[in-house]
């Protein structure tokens, strides 16, 4: 079977690329249906992009690499595509855009764009072998018990990272990169909850509050959730992408900086009340009880000096913790690291050393923040590769 382009992976990036790569395109995936991660994302409503998406929202060894694709295919371009299909959407918070109805609308839209472009889709198809004969790529595919030999001018690797293995995620993209001597930046789980040993936060499981979290990177002001295993919530997931094993994290339980003034006012108005009672009016009571042992929150509020209230506030706003680890790829939303961007063209996503070989989406060393940024990278990188292939 002779084709122009073989795309491995029918996810967000792969389908986007197929919609733009021109005639003679075949997309394959081992899953039963296309766009499975799209379907489950955003609670089934797909946080398909972010109004604020820009290079600063991405992590990579080369922070400049993503600029070209993001500039040439923006969030506004994708929003226009969504609007053209009359898919209703809304902004939830922090620029995050979700479908009003269902994430399946995005999958249907992309399948329609693929159909318009004449791209074929083979599902439940596995790759047994890939090689290059000096002119073309040759792939041995297994589908419905039959072996098909495909000869393609272009090979696009869009099969994602290692996150959420229960959905079939593997490190196949990195194996292909290694086969063609492309370097791979060490991978690790990103946008993932932290774990702590000895059931440290088990008594607080289910407690949530606004917080500011940092892990040797930007600080994120979002919700913090205590779990049986450790810490989760949007603020934690964001910070986790900047965390390395053994490092500390900084937890600020008073991101609006109102605690000190609150305690001073309470000292005047509620002097006879216990310090823990007053603090329980500002922070979750279970959390105050938990912190009591470490912070020694004894006595009435009237007995606390300005210096003591300042000391308590300082401790509340700079709680230094050392996670024992993360929950790993099992629950991670993304994979950090991936195919080294130094080996790729930022304009085309093509391998500099292997003409016709492209890597797009999550398998590349470009990882977005939580909030629709990783989908935008899928759209932008898929579009860039598709345009490059269509114009060669």
Q: Report whether 361 contacts 29 (CB < 8 A).
A: no
| Residue pLDDT, tens place only, 33-52 | 999 999 999 999 999 999 99
What is the Cα–Cα distance from 138 to 127, expressed in whole angstroms?
11
Torsional sign, CA 278, 284, 286, 288: negative
Residue in 223, 215, 277 with CA at minimum distance from that of residue 246: 215
The pLDDT score that the predictor gives to residue 25 is: 98
Percent of the chain with pLDDT over 90: 98
What is the Cα–Cα distance from 325 to 243, expressed in whole angstroms?
10
How confident is the prediction for the chain on average, in pLDDT?
A: 97
What is the Cα–Cα distance from 320 to 17, expressed in whole angstroms?
44
| Residue pLDDT, tens place only, 241-292 | 999 999 999 999 999 999 999 999 999 999 999 999 999 999 999 999 999 9
- Residue 166 pLDDT grade (very low, low, confident, very high; cuts 50, 70, 90): confident
What is the Cα–Cα distance from 371 to 221, expressed in whole angstroms?
13
Tell me how far apart the terminal alpha carbons of the chain are, to the nearest angstrom.
21
- Residue 171 pLDDT grade (very low, low, confident, very high; cuts 50, 70, 90): very high
Residue in 217, 171, 170 with CA at minimum distance from that of residue 191: 217
Quick one: average pLDDT of 362-384? 98
What is the Cα–Cα distance from 371 to 46, expressed in whole angstroms?
10
Residue in 102, 49, 57, 99 with CA at minimum distance from that of residue 78: 49
What is the Cα–Cα distance from 55 to 68, expressed in whole angstroms?
9
| Residue pLDDT, tens place only, 83-116 | 999 999 999 999 999 999 999 999 999 999 999 9
DSSP assignment, residue 164?
A: -
Q: How many CA atoms, within 13 angstroms, populate the side-chain half-sphere of residue 77? A: 14
Global pTM value: 0.96
Cα angle, residue 177 at apex, residues 166 and 11 outer, rounded to 5°: 40
For the beta carbon of residue 192, count every other beta carbon within 10 angstroms: 26
What is the Cα–Cα distance from 77 to 386, expressed in whole angstroms?
15
Torsional sign, CA 118, 119, 125, 127: positive
| Residue pLDDT, tens place only, 199-221 | 999 999 999 999 999 999 999 99
Residue in 286, 283, 285, 294 with CA at minimum distance from that of residue 321: 294
- Residue 167 pLDDT grade (very low, low, confident, very high; cuts 50, 70, 90): confident
Residue 177 has pLDDT above 90, yes or no: yes
């Amino acid at each position: 079977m002779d084709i122009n382009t073989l795309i491995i992976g029918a996810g967000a990036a792969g389908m986007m690329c197929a919609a733009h790569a021109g005639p003679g395109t075949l997309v394959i995936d081992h899953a039963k249906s296309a766009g499975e991660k799209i379907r489950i994302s955003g609670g089934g409503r797909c946080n398909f992009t972010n109004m604020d998406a820009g290079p600063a929202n991405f992590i990579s060894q080369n922070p400049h690499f993503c600029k070209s694709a993001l500039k040439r295919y923006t969030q506004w371009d994708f929003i226009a595509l969504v609007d053209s299909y009359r898919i209703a959407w809304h902004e939830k918070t922090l620029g995050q855009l979700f479908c009003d109805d269902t994430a399946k609308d995005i999958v249907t839209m992309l399948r329609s764009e693929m159909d318009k472009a004449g791209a074929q889709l083979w599902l439940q198809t596995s790759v047994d072998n890939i090689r290059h004969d000096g002119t073309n790529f040759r792939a041995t595919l297994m589908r419905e018990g039959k072996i098909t030999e495909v000869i393609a001018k272009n090979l696009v690797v869009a099969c994602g990272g290692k996150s959420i293995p229960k959905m079939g995620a593997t490190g196949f993209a990195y194996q292909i990169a290694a086969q063609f001597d492309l370097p791979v930046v060490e991978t690790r789980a990103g946008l993932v909850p932290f774990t702590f040993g000895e059931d440290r936060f088990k008594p607080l499981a289910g407690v949530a509050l606004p917080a500011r979290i940092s892990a040797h990177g930007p600080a994120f002001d979002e919700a913090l959730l205590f779990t049986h295993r450790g810490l989760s919530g949007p603020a934690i997931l964001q910070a986790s992408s900047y965390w390395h094993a053994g490092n500390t994290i900084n937890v600020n339980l008073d991101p609006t900086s109102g605690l000190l003034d609150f305690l001073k006012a309470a000292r005047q108005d509620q002097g006879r009340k216990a310090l823990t009672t007053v603090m329980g009016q500002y922070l979750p009571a279970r959390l105050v009880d938990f912190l009591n042992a470490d912070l020694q929150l004894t006595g009435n509020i009237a007995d606390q000096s300005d210096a003591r209230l300042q000391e308590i506030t300082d401790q509340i706003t700079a709680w230094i913790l050392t996670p024992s680890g993360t929950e790993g790829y099992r629950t991670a939303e993304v994979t950090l690291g991936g195919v080294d961007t130094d080996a790729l063209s930022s304009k085309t996503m093509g391998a500099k050393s292997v003409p016709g070989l492209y890597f797009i989406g999550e398998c590349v060393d470009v990882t977005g923040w939580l909030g629709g940024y990783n989908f935008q990278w899928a759209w932008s990188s898929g579009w860039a590769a598709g345009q490059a292939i269509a114009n060669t």
